[in-house]
Amino acid sequence: MTKEIRLRALGDTFKKLDPRDQIKNPVMFLVYLSAIITTALFFTGLWGWKDAPSGYVAAIAVILWITVLFGNYAEAIAEGRGKAQADAMRSGRTDVTAHRQKADGTLEDVPSSQLRKGDTIVVSAGEQIPADGDVIEGAASVDESAITGESAPVIREAGGDRSAVTGGTQVLSDQLVITVTNDPGESFMDKMISMVEGASRQKTPNEIALQIFLVALSLIFIVVCAALYAYSIYVSGQLGKADPITITSLVALLVCLAPTTIGALLSSIGIAGMSRLNDANVLAMSGRAIEAAGDVDVLMLDKTGTITLGNRQAAEFLPAPGVTEHELADAAQLSSLADQTAEGRSIVVLAKKFGIRERQNTSHLHFIEFSARTKMSGVDYDGHEIRKGAVDAITNYLRAAGKEMPQKCVQDVRKVAEAGGTPLVVVKDHQAMGVVYLKDIIKAGVAAEFQNLRTMGIKTIMITGDNPVTAAAIAAEAGVDDFLAEATPEGKLEMIKKFQAEGHLVAMTGDGTNDAPALAQADVAVAMNTGTQAAKEAGNMVDLDSSPTKLIDIVRIGKQLLMTRGALTTFSFANDVAKYFAIIPALFAPIFPQLGILNIMGLASPESAILSAIIYNALIIVALIPLALKGVAYRAVPAVKLLKRNLLIYGLGGIIAPFVAIKIIDLLLVLVIPGI
């Protein structure tokens, strides 16, 4: 964390003393009011009406103000990273000149601030795209580093799922004709800035529920403290005991009874969770989305690019009868020398295992490029003709020459398809040479990742356009729980609705207009930044890196947020137990000396006990800020085991830590203030 962020947070700490800011956090507002009351009691003591010794009241007041400031600092430091990032985005924005197309087709130069939704603009190489929009004509390389932080350019073109462009990015080549999709102030960059700096962060349902619970507890403790004060007046007056409990001590008791630790950190936990998501280059359109990610129990994942590498690789040569593997490899390599696709290059690489190297002299080779009409590619040389292609295309090619596919090749084709691969048939001079097995390569570590998700109670579903046989083979190898083959927009939508009707929370990714209905229905919908405007509007998160695997990271961050909140809540409530043992005996010992037996910590005096407890109450907030910002360590374990772990570490730790810390503070107070 930079020095600038810390200095800004320090300034914001004092700005947040505004009552309008304080009342947004009811628990800390109670501490704020308590600080005001004790400050007033100090000044009334100077003017003649003493509640307690002036030094004691002043110490309580100062510590309570410090507690408020520490709570403000926790929230300010969490907001600091987002504000710094937002400032950097703002500084990079300029009002550029846009070439707007008029009704007669001519262009006029206008400031980008004058562009409106529906306008058509033309952006050429070297120019900045002035507004969000969809490409309606042309294709170009675009530098999106201002948005994603990635230096590698991307292709944006009319039609398909790569037509959306973002204002502030730069065209590197060619020319684009764009329809503007947002008015000024509503652009994707504006939304990013607002979300990153936390201006639009809404409290999540669980956060609101927890805050209501904390407020209810605080109200109960206010009633308890008022009753204790009335009781102490009765006892001291009717029974002739010591003086009643002072208001200052009761205020200190109230602050220690109230769950101030989690109350002070609750907001910063949520902000830090959003910040971790921003660090992962994901923009959450609401706090509800990241919290829902933590509760997701069904993940719908694209096969290509998520589960598989996305590029099929040659895995095996299956020769026809009378043909050796070496001969098939030689023919397959020759037909692939000019094939620059990942599949073609992998065939060349696999052939090298048979001692076949790429030809140095290819001038006598006439390459036949792949065409969608023939579904074949190949090479002609020295009177020979080699072709490779899809099974049906090669079958028709052979039949046109009066030949048939050998039965062994037919069987090999079926075997490859059943294994989840793609068969390519190679022929030479109208004679089948054999089958090349192209395999969808499962990403390393994916199976283990899915096992971790399964341990957490999350069901994984692979979505693919492959036929059911191929989909089943890949699903089995990857270790997913289920799959949706030959996926259609309607099929995805129906599957999501089915799971939601059964009470599940569903997450999915998508980038195309045809994904928009399912994204809108999903509880956590991650749209790719490279996708269409419709997909981004339907999702509640946007992955700026456009990485389909990011969904797993999002779920992990969401669960870490919930785990952090649960751990610190457990610690906060356990903390209060020790504080009760410090303060309650100290308050009532003068009236009921028998309660001295409860002073198990052996604290020096009632005053030192109360001061030690509220000093600890303030310091623990600062001590827990790093944990609130970083989050507890993520563990892929079931909820029951997680609860047991929280109780053991944060529950037991929350009970032991205050006993030790309060005793140490008490000893230090006795050394600093003799006779306290």
CB neighbourhood size of 631 (10 A): 20
Which helix (H) or strand (E) covers residue 391, if one does? helix 391-400
- Any known ligand binding at 373? yes
CA–CA dist 155, 140 (Å, integer) = 6
- Any known ligand binding at 377? yes
CA–CA dist 461, 456 (Å, integer) = 15
Structure tokens at 311: 């590029």
Q: 510 near 484, Cβ under 8 Å?
A: no
Active site annotation includes 481: no
CA–CA dist 458, 203 (Å, integer) = 25
- Any known ligand binding at 370? yes
Closest CA to 252 of 582, 505, 525, 540: 582
Q: What angle is formed at CA 153 by the lines to CA 150 and CA 155, rounded to 5 degrees?
A: 130
Q: Which residues, in sequence order, are CB contacts of 97 under 8 Å at separation 6+?
A: 109, 110, 111, 112, 130
Backbone angles phi, psi at 613, to 5 degrees: -65, -45
- Any known ligand binding at 186? no
Please identify which residue in the block is written with the tokens 């005793």: 663
2 by Cβ neighbours in 10 Å (0-12 / 13-18 / 19+) ranks as exposed
Q: 384 near 366, Cβ under 8 Å?
A: no
Backbone angles phi, psi at 386, to 5 degrees: -115, 135
Residue 42 pairs in a beta bridge with none
- Any known ligand binding at 511? yes
Which helix (H) or strand (E) covers residue 518, if one does? helix 516-521
CA–CA dist 51, 247 (Å, integer) = 7
Q: 436 near 347, Cβ under 8 Å?
A: yes
- Any known ligand binding at 303? no
Q: 259 near 217, Cβ under 8 Å?
A: yes
CA–CA dist 643, 207 (Å, integer) = 18
Percentages helix, strand, coil for the chain (3-state, rounded to 5) are 55, 15, 30
Closest CA to 515 of 499, 498, 531: 531
CB neighbourhood size of 289 (10 A): 24
**How distant is the alpha carbon of residue 661 from its chain centre?**
36
- Any known ligand binding at 371? yes
597 DSSP 8-state letter: G
**Catalytic residue chosen out of the listed positions 302, 523, 543, 666:** 302
Backbone angles phi, psi at 150, to 5 degrees: -90, 130
Q: Which residues, in sequence order, are CB contacts of 516 under 8 Å at separation 6+?
A: 510, 532, 534, 535, 537, 538
- Any known ligand binding at 372? yes
Structure tokens at 34: 């308590």
Q: Using CA of residue 46, residue 49, residue 53, residue 57, what is the dihedral sign?
A: negative
Residue count of the chain: 676
Q: 572 near 259, Cβ under 8 Å?
A: yes
| Residue environment code for 58-70, b if the CB has 16+ CB neighbours within 10 A, otherwise e | bbbbebbbbbbbb
- Any known ligand binding at 380? no
- Any known ligand binding at 374? yes
Alpha carbon distances (Å) from 550 to 235, 299, 306, 538, 542: 64, 12, 9, 18, 10
Q: Which residues, in sequence order, are CB contacts of 436 under 8 Å at separation 6+?
A: 314, 316, 317, 318, 328, 332, 347, 388, 423, 424, 425, 426
Structure tokens at 669: 């107070």
Residues contributing to the annotated binding site = 339, 343, 370-377, 388, 511, 515
Residues contributing to the annotated binding site for ATP = 339, 343, 370-377, 388
Residues serving a catalytic function are 302
Residues contributing to the annotated binding site for Mg(2+) = 511, 515
